[in-house]
Structure 1
Amino acid sequence: MTRNKFMTAEAAVGLIKDGDTVALVGGGGGLMEATHTFRAVSRRFLSTGYPRNLNVVHALGIGDKKSEGMNHFAHEGLVKRVIGGHWVWSPKMQEMARDDKIEAYVLPSGCVMQLYREIGGKRPGLFSHVGLGTFVDPRHQGGKMNSAAREDLVEVVTIGGQELLWYKSFPINVAIIRGSFGDPDGNISLDQEAANVDVYAAALAAHNSGGIVIAQVRTAVDLNSLPARSVRVPGAIVDAVVVDPDQRMSYDLPYDPLISGERRGPVIIDPPEPLNVRTLIARRAYQELKDGDVINFGVGIGEGVAKMVAERGEVGRYYQTIEHGTYGGALLVGLLFGFARSASAMIDGPSQFDFYAGGGLDTAFLGFGELDAVGDVNVSKLGGLTVGPGGFMDIAQNAKKVVFCGTFDAKGGKVAIGDGKLSIHSHGSVRKLVSKVEQITYSGRQALKRGHEAVFVTERAVFRLTDEGLRLDEVAPGIDVRRDILDRMDFAPLMPRDPKVMDQAIFAD
């Protein structure tokens, strides 16, 4: 029997029916995104009005913060519900959630990837401790991000005396995935991609739910030409292969074998950033590293620590990981967060999150939006806008130590750095150390319960989480503790009689 699963993007998206639940794969900046196929969905809807009322699920943030990725699905009538791990890459979808034009849910990225695997195995769902005590816990919001979201997707259960969250299974009707090479039988290779993420898990969930799998690739190859070891998604579970010869590694990057892991090369180091608030926070956070640590860097100021490690030629001192499934190498930043050059290993995303959930990380460097007296952190809903945690929750809740990196306040603050000290010229108009966070993305109580360490590094102070609450441990040289710290917080931290002064070298050019 001769098969030929190649078809146009228009024909492939024509297989999507009204009301289907569609799993999308990708990461910010265009990583593993089937952009050509996403655009075809948007074109079909705008020209015909179909498909309608889709339920869209995605683990990582997908888009460019402008028009690509999830923005192609941000049309009234096209989407009814979105379950997303991270939303900031699609301003249009954020606005639809804010205005109750869709049912908006946020679940941790790792749990979404692992849930695909459970759906594919016809199990009742994912049972996990990840999310306990946070906004995903149904005793808080249950992952519901607006008033249109009413269904309970998560329940609290007790198994063997242990309290867990039950992320319920649901059928996946369509999975839109991406690879590098595809043959007529539907075998898909990821050999020239920047990560594996949840490609196989999403395809498995759709196929075993009785749904369809649409795979976009850059290159069509002959039958039996792909080495078996290169095939990451077998043709048995793929229904349509769409070829886009213009497919790129990212929106701006055509192809780089150092990023796909096919070759290794010298680490390319960008010029050092000038001394600024982000730099000095990264310098202080860097001091929390220990040789041999297995570490993770989050987007934002945490990237600055990764850059510092590369600049100092210390990549080999630690085991670097990214939630996308990548180990080692030089991590890229900004719109290319999730990419790495000369990586040492690439595994599937669900397996990476298994590693995190099991406590495999020693130290994680993450950002924070809000922080309160009990050590609760909010990064998932800020100013009423749905942001989502991405992999933050899976990582922060399970790392043995989390170093939260962020400015003390936001919007309009001006400081001077140099001569071994910090001077505050004007304070930001938005306080980040608040009496109670708007939404709990990281639970200080859960961290203490699990015996984990939390350090909060800002440009003017360092705090640590204790059983009694948040403690002010260090202050920047040149700072007035009362005027610049205590009077700019909504709560009084614990503090020693004489807090330690931060290392002056951090504040020197």
Structure 2
Amino acid sequence: MTDPTPRPSRRVRSGPRFLDAADAIALVRPGDTVAIGGSGGGLVEPDLLLRTLGDAYRENGAPAGLTLVHTTGIGDREGGGMDHLAQPGLAKRIIAGNWGMAPRMSEMVIENQFEAYNFPQGVMAQLFREIAGGRPGLVTHVGLGTFCDPRLEGGRLNDVTTEELVEVVELGGKEWLFYPAIDIDVCLIRGTTADERGNISLEQEGARLEMLSIAQATRNSGGLVIAQVKQVAEGGSLDPRSVVVPGICVDVVVVHKDQRQLVTHDFNPAFSGAVKAALSHLEPFPLDQRKVVARRALAEIRDGDVVNLGVGIADGVAAVAAEEGWSDHFTLTIEQGLVGGVPARGVIFGVATNPVAVLDQPYQFDFYDGGGLDITFLGFAQIDTAGNVNVSKFNKRVVGTGGFVNISQNASTVVFCGTFNAGGLRAVPGAGTLAIESEGRHRKFVDQVEQVTFSAEQARLRGQRVLYVTERAVFELGAAGLVLVETAPGVDVDRDVLEQLPGPIEVAADLREMDAALFTDVALGAAWRDRMIAGSEAAR
């Protein structure tokens, strides 16, 4: 995708210009490739620039035919973020790591309004670094055997998307996927403070993401770097240790004085590391079917584990651990680059209360891809009896993989967390048992997943331990597919579990009952933790 012919630079050599948002967006030309930083819930999102770009096109019909590139889901699920750009003709192609935060843009994918690709979040983050270094692209094992593999779908999401952007290559006698570099004309990034020389710090942000890599990639592609900030400081006054994007990479600065840290917060200092909040003040997690799943999943953690949490029901594991006073026994991480602390739940997943380190996102994925995770907890939309998992495209919805492929392919133990069914499920825990009062309309266990985001076959080849935890049953990945290993007290194994599946599966000879303590509205306690750790150690 990179044109080997050198392109004339659009950069201005005299230093950064300070422009209003409209004048900055006027520098974007029809047909440009625009890289966009940010993550869901407004995290380091250049919100004013996105809104202004959307307004400009709505009013003038230009710039049109853009190629948009972004690493994570950007938006609030309510019309913000990338949904400002969800207008017919504005984009001709979008390459994204996640689509779930911009539902209108996702709908336009299904409607074939533009070419659409979904590559793993870590691949996208690392690809910017490869572009910055002038390399031809990213070679990685991430995506093999999934829908990103060109032998399946090559990351293409609709019928109008026909160009193959991913290649299978062989190096050192092994198969790899090659994701080629992209020429970037303009990027939209964000920080907290810019000094008069264009140096940018992120002191009020909840993450760093890949702001530096995007800026370097754009600068070295001859493109324009446009940065949104909240305030301006005197030139040279910033602590050099706080500068994330140096002024040599910045062409335009736009000041947005009303910039919020997140869509839900003007500023929470515990998200940026400015203060350490008391965990006792975190919102409690009420006992329900979701909490049962989180509690059972928590039992798989060992003291000292390095843990990843995915968005959705899996993020409840952190809340339960905090309630139980167990958070200091292991280290939670999330793909946006945060190490330690308690990850936030819901639309602002991507920040954490009391992080101990904030890394650039590409380096977090280096750690993940190389096998640094002991265990991960991820959600699921569909599971088939072979053990494959789909979170990316289902029921005429495009959500995207996010970091799911990187993480699920490389963690030593993978725990998929979710309710057995969805859409009206009412499974009520209490007094040590589970009462299923109504089943969900949407079956999450299917004969064959619509899209392979996690390959059971690849997991067996890698020797991963894989669990599937629901409120009523726990399954393991066996040699031929799912194996039922635990059921909740109070449920009928045949009626409530086996007959709800699309086909027969193996039932463990030593089928166990889930611990009754999971279904009570009291703290689980140290004795329970010790017992669960012992059981997890034996299973591993």
TM-score with structure 2 length normalisation?
A: 0.92
Cα displacement (A) at 1:2: 7.0
Cα displacement (A) at 1:486: 1.1
- 2:263 alignment partner in structure 1: 251
**Letter in structure 2 aligned against 1:371:** I
**Letter in structure 2 aligned against 1:35:** D
Cα displacement (A) at 1:252: 2.5
Contact 2:264–2:348 (8 Å) recurs in 1:
no
Contact 1:83–1:107 (8 Å) recurs in 2:
yes
- 1:436 alignment partner in structure 2: 448
Aligned match for 2:126, one of 91, 97, 114: 114
CA distance in 2, matches of 1:249, 1:325: 16
- 1:460 alignment partner in structure 2: 472
CA distance in 1, matches of 2:251, 2:232: 15
Cα displacement (A) at 1:283: 1.0
CA distance in 2, matches of 1:268, 1:126: 43
Cα displacement (A) at 1:268: 4.6
Aligned match for 1:310, one of 302, 322, 327: 322
Cα displacement (A) at 1:427: 2.0
Q: Secondary structure at the match of 1:353?
A: helix
Residues 7 and 84 of structure 1: CA distance in aligned 2, closer, same or farther (over 3 Å): same
What does residue range 280-295 of structure 1 map to in structure 2 within 5 Å? 280-295=292-307
- 1:446 alignment partner in structure 2: 458
CA distance in 1, matches of 2:312, 2:73: 15
What does residue range 345-494 of structure 1 map to in structure 2 within 5 Å? 345-494=357-506
Q: CA RMSD in A?
A: 1.3
**Letter in structure 2 aligned against 1:302:** A
Post-superposition Cα deviations, 1:440-475, rounded to whole Å, max 9, x if no partner, equal 001111111111111000111100012232111011
Q: Secondary structure at the match of 2:17?
A: coil
Q: Secondary structure at the match of 1:374?
A: coil
Contact 2:380–2:416 (8 Å) recurs in 1:
yes
Contact 2:71–2:97 (8 Å) recurs in 1:
yes
CA distance in 1, matches of 2:239, 2:428: 58
CA distance in 2, matches of 1:415, 1:187: 53
- 1:196 alignment partner in structure 2: 208
Cα displacement (A) at 1:184: 2.3
Contact 1:3–1:184 (8 Å) recurs in 2:
no
CA distance in 2, matches of 1:493, 1:237: 56
Cα displacement (A) at 1:274: 2.5
CA distance in 2, matches of 1:18, 1:137: 31
Aligned match for 2:189, one of 177, 191, 194: 177
**Letter in structure 2 aligned against 1:107:** F
Post-superposition Cα deviations, 1:359-392, rounded to whole Å, max 9, x if no partner, equal 0000111101111122110000010211101111
Residues 398 and 4 of structure 1: CA distance in aligned 2, closer, same or farther (over 3 Å): closer
Cα displacement (A) at 1:256: 2.4
- 1:235 alignment partner in structure 2: 247
Post-superposition Cα deviations, 1:257-307, rounded to whole Å, max 9, x if no partner, equal 221123324225434333211011111111111000000111111111110
- 1:13 alignment partner in structure 2: 25
Contact 1:315–1:328 (8 Å) recurs in 2:
no
Contact 1:5–1:184 (8 Å) recurs in 2:
no
**Letter in structure 2 aligned against 1:331:** P
What does residue range 82-161 of structure 1 map to in structure 2 within 5 Å? 82-161=94-173
Cα displacement (A) at 1:234: 0.9
Residues 400 and 242 of structure 1: CA distance in aligned 2, closer, same or farther (over 3 Å): same
Answering whether residue 282 of structure 2 is matched by residue 270 of structure 1, we say yes
- 1:56 alignment partner in structure 2: 68
Contact 1:178–1:199 (8 Å) recurs in 2:
yes
Aligned match for 1:24, one of 33, 36, 47: 36
Contact 1:180–1:190 (8 Å) recurs in 2:
yes
Contact 1:269–1:311 (8 Å) recurs in 2:
no
- 2:8 alignment partner in structure 1: none
Q: Secondary structure at the match of 1:455?
A: strand
Aligned match for 2:332, one of 313, 320, 329: 320
Cα displacement (A) at 1:407: 0.9
Post-superposition Cα deviations, 1:30-82, rounded to whole Å, max 9, x if no partner, equal 00001111111112111211100111111111001112100111111111111
- 2:528 alignment partner in structure 1: none
Q: Secondary structure at the match of 1:499?
A: strand
Contact 1:5–1:185 (8 Å) recurs in 2:
no
**Letter in structure 2 aligned against 1:216:** Q
CA distance in 2, matches of 1:407, 1:8: 47
Q: Secondary structure at the match of 2:139?
A: strand
CA distance in 1, matches of 2:219, 2:72: 21
Cα displacement (A) at 1:4: 4.8
Residues 475 and 190 of structure 1: CA distance in aligned 2, closer, same or farther (over 3 Å): same
CA distance in 2, matches of 1:4, 1:506: 57
Aligned match for 2:353, one of 314, 335, 341: 341
CA distance in 1, matches of 2:301, 2:78: 36
**Letter in structure 2 aligned against 1:188:** I
Contact 1:455–1:465 (8 Å) recurs in 2:
yes
Residues 256 and 412 of structure 1: CA distance in aligned 2, closer, same or farther (over 3 Å): closer
Contact 1:357–1:395 (8 Å) recurs in 2:
yes
- 2:530 alignment partner in structure 1: none
Q: Secondary structure at the match of 2:116?
A: strand
Answering whether residue 258 of structure 2 is matched by residue 220 of structure 1, we say no
CA distance in 2, matches of 1:260, 1:125: 32
Cα displacement (A) at 1:497: 3.6
CA distance in 2, matches of 1:192, 1:427: 44
Q: Secondary structure at the match of 1:397?
A: helix
**Letter in structure 1 aligned against 2:361:** G
Of residues 309-318 and 289-298 in structure 1, the stretch that sits farther from structure 2 once superposed is 309-318
Contact 1:29–1:336 (8 Å) recurs in 2:
yes
Post-superposition Cα deviations, 1:168-220, rounded to whole Å, max 9, x if no partner, equal 11201111000011122211111221100011111111111111100000011
Residues 280 and 4 of structure 1: CA distance in aligned 2, closer, same or farther (over 3 Å): closer
**Letter in structure 2 aligned against 1:42:** G
The count of residues paired between Structure 1 and Structure 2 equals 509
Of residues 310-319 and 491-500 in structure 1, the stretch that sits farther from structure 2 once superposed is 491-500
Contact 1:22–1:172 (8 Å) recurs in 2:
yes
Identity fraction in percent? 48
CA distance in 2, matches of 1:95, 1:10: 28
CA distance in 1, matches of 2:311, 2:234: 40
